[in-house]
Structure 1
Amino acid sequence: MDQLFNIRLSSVGSNKSSTEEHVVPFWRDYLQDVEEEEKGPSKLAKILGFATGATVIPPVGVSPQPSIEFLHEESVSPSRRLPMANTCINCLKLPLLETYDQFKESMDFALGNTQGFRRE
C-alpha cells in the first residue's frame, strides 16, 4: 500500500519539508500496524477508499496515481487535525502531528467516522 502512494514533500531544506519528513514515518508505521491487525485487509480497504473512493485497486491500476500531501496551515486549527482526502485526484492529506499516537488516533477516527461512497 505504501508504494501505491506518491509522497509529495515540499522543497528540500524548507521548514515545511522538515515537518513533513517527521510525519512520513508515522504514515508508514500506521500502514504496518494496520496490516498486522486482525481486520487489517478491511482497514487497508478503508484507507484506499478514503483516499480514492475505491476499496480495491482496479486491474488497470489507479489513475491518477494516489498521492500524499500535508495539511500545513490547516493543522493549526483543532478541527483540522484530521486527514482529508480529495477522491477526484486521489490525494490524501495528512495532518502534521507531533506523535505517532496522535497520528494513529486521528487516522482511526477519520476512517471510523467517514461515510464514504456507497455507504449509508
Structure 2
Amino acid sequence: MTNAGCVRPLTTISDRDLLLRDLLMFHVVHQVHGPFQRFEGLKTLGVLGAVKKLPDSFRSWFCHEPQRLTADMMDDLFTPRLAPKGSNRRRAEDAVIPLCKDYLQDAEDEEGSSKLQNILVFATGSNEIRPVGFSPAPSIEFIHEGSEESSSKQMFPMASSCINCLKLPLITSYEAFKESMDPGI
C-alpha cells in the first residue's frame, strides 16, 4: 500500500472505501500512465495514427504470438560452426549437416512441433523462439575425436544451453544418427 502512496489511516468504513479507490487509481491509472505516454513518441511520422487505423496490421509488432515450430524454422535458427574448408574435420561435419536437416524434418513429420520443441529446450533452455531472439545466437558444433567432449564411446548429442549450442556427434548413417539423437535429447 505504501508503494501506491496510500498511507491513509483506517478509522471508519468510509476510510476503507477511500483507500480502495486510491489503490485502484494507482494500479489502473497511474501505473499504466508511463507506458501509455511512451506511445506518444509514435506520433512522429504518423505511426500512431496508422496503428490506430489499422491495429491488426501492427499486432505482430506489438504483441507476441507464439508460433508453431517447424523444421525450417529450426534449421534457420541454428548456425553451424564449421571447420576450415578442405580440412578433414570439415568433410566430416559436411556429412552430418544433411542428416541433421533430415532429422528435423522427420521430427516434425512424426510428432509435430512437440519434438522440435524438445530439441530447442535441450539446446537453449527455451521452449519457444523468443520474440527478441537469442543471445548468443543458437549454433551447432561437432564433437570430434580428441576434443574435450569426446570419449571413445561418445555417440550422443550434447548441449550447452548457456551459449545456446547443440553439439552433434560425427555419425555418417542416418539411422545411427537418429538412434543417437532420440535418446540423447
TM bin, normalised by shorter chain, reads 0.7 to 0.9
Unpaired segments of 5 or more residues in structure 1? Answer: 112-120
* Cα separation, 1, equivalents of 2:93 and 2:109: 25
The question of 1:19 aligning with 2:92 is answered yes
More helix by share: 2
Letter in 1 for 2:101: R
**Runs of 4+ residues over 6 Å off in structure 1:** none
Contact preservation (8 Å) 1:68, 1:91? yes
Which residue of structure 2 lines up, in the alignment, with residue 3 of structure 1? 76
Structure 2 counterpart SS, 1:12: coil
Cα deviations by residue, 1:60-117 (Å, 9 ceiling, x for unpaired): 1111110000000255611x11000001100000000121101001110112xxxxxx
More strand by share: 1
Which ranges in structure 2 are unaligned for 5 or more consecutive residues?
Answer: 1-73
TM-score for the superposition, normalised by structure 2: 0.57
Aligned residues: 109
TM-score, normalised to structure 1, is 0.87
Q: Does 1:103 align with 2:177?
A: yes
> Which structure would you say has the larger RCO, counting Cα contacts within 8 Å and 6 or more residues apart?
1
